[in-house]
Amino acid sequence: MENRSIVSIADYSREKIQNLLDMAAAFEAKPNRKLLEGKVVATLFFEPSTRTRLSFETAANRLGARVIGFSDPKATSSSKGETLKDTIKMVSNYADVIVMRHYLEGAAQYASEVTDVPIINAGDGSNLHPSQTMLDLYSIYKTQGTLEDLNIFMVGDLKYGRTIHSLLMSMRKYNPKFTFIAPKELEMPEEYKEYCQKNDIHYEERQDFDENTLRDCDILYMTRVQRERFSDLMEYERVKDAYILRADMLGACRENMRILHPLPRVNEIQYDVDDSPHAYYFQQAQNGLYAREALICDVLGIGLEEIMKK
């Protein structure tokens, strides 16, 4: 049987993305559709999470599946030295879908190679976060009415930000213009700049971040400087407050500009921004439920037609 794991969505066709957006929209219109009665979804979180784990578990529940899993690997046999391979093989005996977050880059790919049960990558180290990307695409599509020809500003930790890397690659087919704003220590890695060059994706790098900078922006994608990715905490202290968005910086923005953030935030978006009509990060997180219902169905081979019948 074909393994329908979702390790990355970077190579998905426009048709496939559109289909997933339509599925997410169907779930937004009606989240409770008992398509997965009798199925079990496992959520294995080797790294902390609030939104991703809870929205996947809510998605599974709303689809009528049962959920097993863990949010703290210390309470599992991996703390006794069990390998990832053995853990995945064991859980494959119990579950129909495995949603996994892991601190190692490439862990989801590896897991998908040792089991026939579909794996959904819920974030692997600083590599990729495809389910976040799907909800980001859905949020962009909902707010802009299109994914085409948008000015997308990415701000903060562009080095370790897996949501950034995933989104950048998945926008390849939509002629985006990227502006990368990051401190020197956290700038976009060379491999992603080369990816842009190879795929004719326009980008520029800037260090300024003020009212004027944001004039032409359609999507402002803010990110947290991730303390947990630094081995040198002095370096974290130096860069953690490099870019902070305040409400008074939004005066010259396009009316339809929307601020996204994968969350959690620390202090890179001040609380006064939450009341701005440009703020969209909480709705974005809500969209995660619908996007993840779509992804769970997709890995189980359940398409839009079947969804609409329930």
Contacts with ligand CP, residue ranges (CB under 6 A) = 49-52, 123, 132, 262-264
CB of 53 to ligand CP, least distance (A): 6
CB-nearer residue toward ligand CP: 196 or 295:
295
On whether the CB atoms of residues 172 and 10 are closer than 8 A, the answer is yes
Q: What is the Cα–Cα distance from 223 to 244, expressed in whole angstroms?
A: 10
CB-nearer residue toward ligand CP: 50 or 83:
50
Q: What is the Cα–Cα distance from 287 to 2, expressed in whole angstroms?
A: 28
Instruction: Identify which of 85, 80, 2, 1 has the alpha carbon closest to the alpha carbon of residue 44.
Output: 85
Strand partners, 44: 70, 100
CB-nearer residue toward ligand CP: 128 or 201:
128
Catalytically annotated residues: 51-52, 80, 101, 129
CB of 143 to ligand CP, least distance (A): 18
On whether the CB atoms of residues 300 and 26 are closer than 8 A, the answer is no
CB-nearer residue toward ligand CP: 192 or 281:
281
CB-nearer residue toward ligand CP: 138 or 203:
138
CB of 265 to ligand CP, least distance (A): 10
CB-nearer residue toward ligand CP: 33 or 51:
51
CB of 227 to ligand CP, least distance (A): 13
CB of 51 to ligand CP, least distance (A): 4
Q: Tokens 């080797």 correspond to what residue?
A: 46
